Chains A and B, each alone.
Chain A
Amino acid sequence: KAGVTQTPRYLIKTRGQQVTLSCSPISGHRSVSWYQQTPGQGLQFLFEYFSETQRNKGNFPGRFSGRQFSNSRSEMNVSTLELGDSALYLCASRLRGDGMHEQYFGPGTRLTVT
């Protein structure tokens, strides 16, 4: 079974631009969560989607948004990029959305904002 895939793997953007990251979960998994990982803050929860509905949202500004499609693939968008948005963005999928099952992480998208 194929794992979680994320595209692109690396991205360099300029302040003020916007970016869209994509995540394809493991086949059959309906829950997709997004995290931002930085050396100083660790993994910070962005949001979770289940069956195209956002179930939870972390403490990030409205510049961060996401969506999930009917095939469970998910995208996240960051508008008006800031230098502090430079981070590794990880998505994770799980079979069920009950929080009691392990998450399977993708390799991440390394975003650099200059």
Chain B
Amino acid sequence: GQNIDQPTEMTATEGAIVQINCTYQTSGFNGLFWYQQHAGEAPTFLSYNVLDGLEEKGRFSSFLSRSKGYSYLLLKELQMKDSASYLCAVSIPSGGYQKVTFGIGTKLQVIP
């Protein structure tokens, strides 16, 4: 089976930096996605990592280590609007195609 683990909840202070970790054990690997989902809304795409290393996009960065089955999402200069769930998802080969499997998500609360 596919296993994707991430913490269920985190709390951080406005203006600070927070790192959300994701570990995965999957049968195959094509790439790893991070999505943001505000309460009551649809998930929206944040980043996609295929190769090892850090991808930076404004206040958000995502890191991948394929050999360790590990990724993290780094959020800098936290703002109140960053309070949301962050979903880690892995694209794996399946039946000649690819399938995206999601972790349960990390609910981040940003406090003043």
Contact = CB atoms under 8 A, between A and B. Distances in A.
B43 A56 contact: no
B87 A104 contact: no
Q: Tell me the interface secondary structure of chain B in the complex.
A: strand
A56 B45 contact: no
Interface residues of B, number: 25
Contacts of A106: 42
Contact of A56 (B31, B42, B97): B97
B41 A107 contact: yes
B106 to A, nearest CB: 10
B60 interface: no
B91 interface: yes
Interface residues of A, number: 26
A42 B98 contact: no
B105 to A, nearest CB: 5
Nearest to A55: B97
A107 to B, nearest CB: 5
Interface of A: 4, 33, 35, 41-45, 48, 50, 55-56, 90, 92, 97-108
25 contacts: A4-B42, A33-B100, A35-B102, A42-B105, A43-B105, A45-B99, A45-B100, A45-B101, A48-B99, A55-B97, A56-B99, A90-B42, A90-B43, A98-B97, A99-B31, A99-B91, A99-B97, A100-B30, A100-B48, A102-B45, A103-B100, A104-B45, A105-B44, A107-B41, A107-B42
